[in-house]
Structure 1
Amino acid sequence: MHRIFDIYKSWPKVTIHSEIYTLILSLYISTLLNQKLWAQLSDIQTDQSLTNQAIFGLALFVLLTTLNYWILSLISWGRSQKIVLVLVTLAVASAAHFSNTYDVHYDTSMMANLLATDYAESRELLSWRWLWSVWIYSVPVVLLGLSTRISKLTVTRKVTHKLIGVSATLVLSLMCLLPQLKTFTSVMRNHHDLRHYAIPVSMVVSGIRQATVLKAVPAEKLVKIGEDAQYQAPVDKKNELMVIVVGETVRAANWGLSAYSRDTTPLLRKKDVINFPYAVSCGTNTETSVPCMFSVYGRENYSERKIKETQNLLHIVHKVGFGVTWIDNQSGCKGVCAGLEFVDAKKFSDPKDCFEGHCYDSNLLSALEWSIDHQAGNQVIVLHQIGNHGPAYYKRYPENHAFYQPECRDTNLDRCSKESLINAYDNSIRYTDKLLSGVIDLLEKQKNKNVSMIYVSDHGESLGEKGVYLHGMPYAIAPKEQKEVPMMFWFSEQYQKTYAKSVACLKQQSKDPAHHDHIFHTVLGLLNIQTASKKQEMDLSQVCHG
């Protein structure tokens, strides 16, 4: 350590003003760490002459550099300036890597994902390639830090110089942007996703916006809904048992029951299930879709704040006397189970089935069996899978379930062949097929109950189509692979006898498109719960009856 410090002290240095130092880094970030932004801008300006492209590009570059300068100037003060700016550059370089590699957009939903991501999820993305990319981008910044000495100023002069710097860059930006205002407005209106590539500006803006709605609301402070809810017990007086399986990252295009060329659901094909081939998700990431699918607002009336601050489907079910349990094998219930029973499925795992913070979904079956035996009366149990969570699809199933070979065993998905990537992804679906078949086998043993099961994936996944991988793109521009998901229902013989009309209606509706918004109303219908919050036309089990 002393040797490193001696090298730093002996390195020849040039004295430089703190604001000049900040401006140099701002220029560096705008130029080399925003390659994706400039590539996207070039793609959408093909109808413009090279001269017009250059002029507009220069104006946008000045604006971006100005905004970057403001951010860096605001957070860098005194002796810590170099250290802070090096750390910021490391973070920006990391963000640039994911933007370049996975086409990541840093909008509010992506920032919600980032802020909610746990260590086990994030470590799968931190590859040697990521480390190399961050290192390469950071070398110039480190060399700049070694080669310069920040001039010492009083606090008053520092503040004065920062204000001068902010004012000067503002004037320069306006001078460059105003002549291009018409073009700028048109580009931003027609390609509003472009701003999500601007790093770190988009991250700061989206992060601040997300922080205003991210804070979890205590169960007792949630806005109440369904206060008028009533459960109408069936004539046979048998208890209800519903299992809702929330899948992870399964797209409809690779779901065997949905006419996929490869049979990825051979076990479910043998069961008497009702499959909805192409349901549309509420979001393109877990943080958005899971709360949304249980909410009365849905995608049609989407408001992240209202969804987070309002009770949901599970709270209504609990109000009418049902036992409600959320069993989780992922990163939590995203606020959906606030005030309700939460069970960590990892406690039911065989140690050999867990590594790097994740466990195979087989633990959900053990937890489900425990939960059924643990409670009497009417029950709704939610199973939250790790499912097909990427990019390490090959880690979602044991080696003896690698049916399709060769399989991609690299988290840098663009390094894998298309065949091996799809093989690994499909192997994960085969493991979900095994889980769901096991759930049905377990539920079939509950002879004296009206038993039902729903499976629906939270969102889909891109597997390299048009160079896009993973998920989380802004909903308005996300490809169908990220929004079309499988949805499936199963009912016991007893349930089909008790609620024959509901099952028949559901079968009829399976021929038509469905979406996450149907779940809230359909679950209430299947459980025979009436409330003013439920819309008859959105209940797939009752809409046939008028």
Structure 2
Amino acid sequence: MGASVFLVAAYNLSFWKTFVAATGGIRFGNVPVYAGAFLLLVLLFNAILTLFNFRFVIKPVLIALFLGASAASYFMNEYGVVIDASMVQNVFETDPKEANELLSWRMVETVTVLGILPSLLVWRLPLVFRPVRRDLLLKAGTVALSLLAGAGLLLLLFKVLAPAVREHRELRFLLTPTNMFQATHGYLKRKWAAPVVIAPLGTDAALGPKWAAAAGQRKRTVTVLVVGETARAMNFSLNGYARQTNPELARQAGLINFRNVSSCGTATAVSVPCVFSGLTRDDYSADKASRQEGLLDVLKHAGFDVLWIDNNSGCKGVCERVRFEDVSQPVPGDPLCNGEECFDERLLRGVPQLIRTSQKDLVVVLHQKGSHGPAYWKRTPAGFDRYGPVCRTNELEQCSRESIVNAYDNTILYTDHFLARTLDLLRASAAREGVDTAMLYFSDHGESLGEKNMYLHGAPYIISPAEQRTVPMMLWLSDGFRQRFHIDNQCLAARSTQAFSHDNVFHSVLGLLNVSTAVYNPKLDLTHPCAREI
């Protein structure tokens, strides 16, 4: 019983804060509800732990629970995250550098006080076990009484608890340690499913009639897809943000900025596979996406040379059947790297040579490090510290919200520079190599910067705030590209305030490049109303 009380009380600050708000806030009349809910959870945990209360079993179980719950509660309290299958997926699929940025002395203190010290106490505590038969009877009685008492409390409180739980589904992601087991089970269920057989997609893909009309020009196309990281639309001055975070992009002629775009997920491990899958967010699941080819495969079927260049933690499986280049590892003496990582401009280093030497039409994906947190200050090279003071620790509780936002805004300022450099490169290549060029930029998800006391990203989509779901998206087409594919830039500009999402990316890329295939849906191609048929 003591361990159950400790679990409910020590590791569930985020849960209780949300529960109190869900039941009308702190007031004297709600005290019986809070006490009853607390006792209900204690009884539930007590019944479960009693099933493990055997020699050589109970101590390892409690120690594992205390250690795991202490780490989970730290991240929930510190960053406002919740523990679900996607968060567990992030833990398993992140790279060591990203994981290291989340470590802090505050985390060490929390795990020590709430994890290690209680574990040591449990390890040293002498336990007395009764004769087997009597022990089993007492345990069965304890489980039965705990469940019966819990059921009684549930009936008494059901009128209050049912609406709170139904309207605040995030509560199940906040209750520790049950959230850890639920999330891990969900992740492993997907991970250990039957071996994946990749179904072909768009094998009928071919260049459409606009290519035939332009055949006599013998001009290649170069299309760059920039996958941003953790950039939220509301911090782009192009979208009305008060700070001038997009000074270079604001001067780019012909750039179309889409102001109302929603992401497929709130974490890279969800959004990147989703946006390249051809599935809409409503239809998407990691299992479905992993069992079929995606956008890059369709482009390969159509005859494009496809390359993914990565300055992040990989492509989450979407580039497995195309060329891949990792530029994220620091090289001594490289001005575009520091001792820990490389800046996004390194993504561009080999692109001019690639365009010059390629004999085929190119699609190049550039995967940014972008604004990945909490170490925002590490994402920008010297000269991009316009806003200050800047938070220079991953222990965000030590920083003012203003300094956190300053550090984040500097990363948007650097992304502005990186995208402008990309456009300069494409213009130069168009003039020098005689190619038609295009760039589509979109971020994978947004970021919370303290709104509603939430930080970072990865909240379950159904309860995620707009800051984590609303992302920037921009399109730029060279004059030659627009003329070849008969695309009206003024028409696109007129659509820039309409609501779009990651659902539109797959079909818009196919539409832009006039790829003919049965998997193309013109209704999801945001450029289709602005493209004249020949």
- TM-score normalized by the length of structure 2: 0.89
Which sections of structure 2, spanning at least 5 residues, go unmatched? none
Indicate which of 190, 199, 216 corresponds to 1:223.
Answer: 199
Counterpart amino acid of residue 364 in structure 1: L
2:438 maps to a residue whose letter is: S
Taking a change above 3 Å as real, the CA distance of residues 143 and 112 of structure 1, as seen in their structure-2 partners, is closer
SS at match of 1:276: strand
Q: Which residue of 1 aligns with 2:407?
A: 424
Deviates more, 1:373-382 or 1:462-471: 373-382
- How far the C-alpha of 1:143 sits from its partner, in A, is 5.4
Would the alpha carbon gap of residues 215 and 143 (structure 1) be closer, same or farther in structure 2, given more than 3 Å must change? Answer: closer
- The one-letter amino acid of 2:456's match is L
- The reply on whether 1:29 has 2:7 as its aligned counterpart is yes
* Secondary structure, aligned partner of 2:38: helix
Residue number in structure 2 paired with 1:269? 250
How far apart are 1:469 and its partner, in Å? 1.4
Q: How does 1:126-525 map to 2 (within 5 A)?
A: 126-138=103-115, 141-142=118-119, 144-145=121-122, 147-151=124-128, 165-214=142-191, 221-232=197-208, 233-237=211-215, 238-272=219-253, 273-346=255-328, 353-354=336-337, 357-369=340-352, 371-373=354-356, 375-447=358-430, 448-501=434-487, 503-525=489-511
> Does structure 2 retain, via aligned residues, the 8 Å contact 1:537–1:543?
no
Per-residue deviation, 1:289: 1.1
Aligned-residue identity in percent: 37
Amino acid at match of 1:497: Q
Deviations 1:474-505 (A, max 9, x none): 22222211111110111122212212325444
Counterpart contact for 1:104–1:472, Cα < 8 Å: yes
**Distance verdict in 2 for CA 1:511–1:142, change over 3 Å:** closer
Distance of 1:44 and 1:265 partners within structure 2:
39
2:265·2:469 contact (CA, 8 Å) conserved in 1? Answer: yes
Instruction: Identify if the C-alpha distance between structure 1 residues 331 and 139 changes in structure 2 by more than 3 Å, giving closer, same or farther.
Output: closer
Cα distance in structure 2, aligned partners of 1:350 and 1:60: 57
Deviations 1:214-260 (A, max 9, x none): 459988x2233223322222523322211100001111111122222
Shift of 1:406: 1.5
Mapped to 1, the partners of 2:64 and 2:344 lie a distance apart of: 37
**Rounded Cα–Cα distance in structure 1 between residues aligned with 2:429 and 2:257:** 22
Look up the equivalent residue of 2:406 and give its one-letter code. N
Q: Specify the code of the residue in structure 2 equivalent to 1:181.
A: F
**More deviation, 116-125/297-306:** 297-306
Question: How big is the shift at 1:458?
Answer: 0.8
Aligned to 1:19: none
Give, in whole Å, the separation in 2 of the partners of 1:315 and 1:69: 52
2:531 counterpart of 1:531: no
Q: CA deviation at 1:74?
A: 6.6
Q: Does the C-alpha gap of structure 1 residues 467 and 526 become closer, same or farther in structure 2, counting only changes over 3 Å?
A: same
* Contiguous gaps of at least 5 residues in structure 1: 1-22
Distance in 1, Cα, partners of 2:510 & 2:138 = 62
Q: Structure 1 residue 420: deviation in Å?
A: 1.9
Distance 1:454 1:129, change over 3 A: same
What displacement does 1:161 show? 6.7
Aligned-residue CA RMSD (Å): 2.8
The alignment covers a number of residue pairs equal to 522
Counterparts in 2 of 1:540 and 1:491: CA distance versus 1, 3 Å: same
TM-fit CA distance, 1:140: 5.2
Aligned-partner residue type, residue 290 of structure 2: K
Q: Is the 8 A contact 2:221 2:361 kept in 1?
A: yes
Aligned amino acid, residue 337 of structure 1? C
| Cα drift, residue 349 of structure 1 | 5.0
- Using the alignment, how far apart are the partners of 1:49 and 1:486 within structure 2? 42
SS of corresponding position for 1:314:
helix
Residues 310 and 366 in structure 2, CA contact (< 8 A), matched pair in contact too: yes
CA contact (8 A) 2:280 2:503 kept: yes
What's the secondary structure of 1:358's corresponding residue? coil
> AA paired with 2:376?
Y
Q: 8 Å contact 2:510–2:520 — kept in the other structure?
A: yes
Select 2:19's aligned residue among 5, 20, 41: 41
1:62-84 CA distances to partner (integer Å, 9 max, x unpaired)?
A: 44335545665677864464345
Give the conservation status (yes or no) of the 8 Å contact 2:69–2:115.
no
Aligned-pair CA distance for 1:55: 3.7
Decide whether aligned partners of structure 1 residues 185 and 239 sit closer, same or farther in structure 2, where only a CA change above 3 A counts: same
- Tell me by how many angstroms 1:351 deviates: 5.2
> Shift in Å at residue 436 of structure 1?
1.3
Q: How does 1:8-19 map to 2 (within 5 A)?
A: none
Q: Structure 2: which amino acid aligns with 1:248? A: E
